């Protein structure tokens, strides 16, 4: 069994530019984000062709990024899977990084030390990793051999990379936050096999930036 998992982070969103925590809310893609999605779609098509299965998070910023790829193939079916959502950051959602830093310095200090805290009362990264990796491995089992393209989020992609390399939680912190519309490619060998991280955070668009959640 060998399945290539091509993970695409969504394009630039409004709250990315405003440096706000998004979590499972959505601020919509900017004009630049929509343009980034078109560039990423062309690069994914050139590098991987038509996927055997396309997945997307149910959040609009991911679905709108996936639409650019979908349109290149005359409406290739795209399956929505809520398990690919970004991590839930609870009541930090919509707040700027600066506001949260001022209000919760102790919590952020714990997080920076590597403690898997529930930021804003939301999810832990271990919980995020469990649901994201389940979605991807189930898709890989369904395909059996071929390519799965998945449109997701920075946190989702970081934990997927850590899971693929079997880095114990919170091992995702060893991976830099993916930039908008970057590609991460995993060769998935099966439930008990070794997997390969072929590419991580490979930019597709000039000026793309990373960002928390």
Q: Is 138 part of the annotated catalytic residue set? A: no
Q: What per-residue confidence (pLDDT) applies to 207? A: 60
For range 121-139, the mean pLDDT: 97
- Within a 10 A sphere around the Cβ of 101, how many other Cβ atoms? 12
- Check 10, 153, 172, 195 and give the catalytic one: 10
Q: Is 104 part of the annotated catalytic residue set? A: no
pLDDT digits (tens, 9 = 90+) for 11-66: 999 999 999 999 999 999 999 999 999 999 999 999 999 899 999 999 999 999 99
pLDDT digits (tens, 9 = 90+) for 136-163: 999 999 999 999 999 999 999 999 999 9
For range 186-211, the mean pLDDT: 86
Q: Whose CA is closest to 56, among 78, 25, 86, 75?
A: 78
Q: Which residues pair with 20 in a beta bridge?
A: 96
- Check 38, 86, 123, 153 and give the catalytic one: 86
Is residue 212 pLDDT above 60, yes or no? no
The CATH number of 2-89+124-202 is 3.40.50.1240
- pTM, entire model: 0.94
Q: Are 28 and 89 in contact (CB under 8 A)?
A: no
């Amino acid at each position: 069994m060998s399945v290539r998992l091509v993970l695409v982070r969504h394009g630039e969103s409004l709250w990315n530019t405003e440096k706000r925590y998004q979590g499972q809310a959505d601020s919509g893609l900017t004009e630049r984000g929509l343009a980034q999605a078109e560039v990423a779609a062309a690069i994914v098509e050139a590098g991987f062709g038509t996927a055997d299965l396309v997945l997307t998070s149910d959040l609009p910023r991911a679905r709108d990024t996936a639409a650019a790829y979908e349109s290149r193939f005359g409406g290739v079916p795209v399956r929505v899977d809520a398990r690919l959502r970004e991590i839930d950051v609870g009541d930090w959602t919509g707040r700027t990084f600066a506001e949260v830093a001022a209000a919760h310095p102790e919590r952020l200090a714990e997080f920076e030390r590597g403690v898997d805290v529930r930021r804003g009362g939301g999810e832990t990264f271990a919980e995020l990793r469990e649901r994201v990796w389940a979605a991807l491995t189930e898709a890989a089992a369904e395909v059996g051999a071929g390519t799965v393209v998945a449109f997701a989020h920075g946190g989702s992609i970081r934990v997927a990379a850590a899971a693929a390399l079997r880095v114990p939680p919170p091992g995702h912190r060893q991976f830099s936050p993916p930039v908008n519309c970057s590609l991460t490619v995993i060769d998935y060998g099966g439930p008990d096999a070794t997997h390969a991280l072929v590419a991580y955070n490979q930019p597709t668009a000039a000026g793309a930036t990373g960002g928390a959640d």
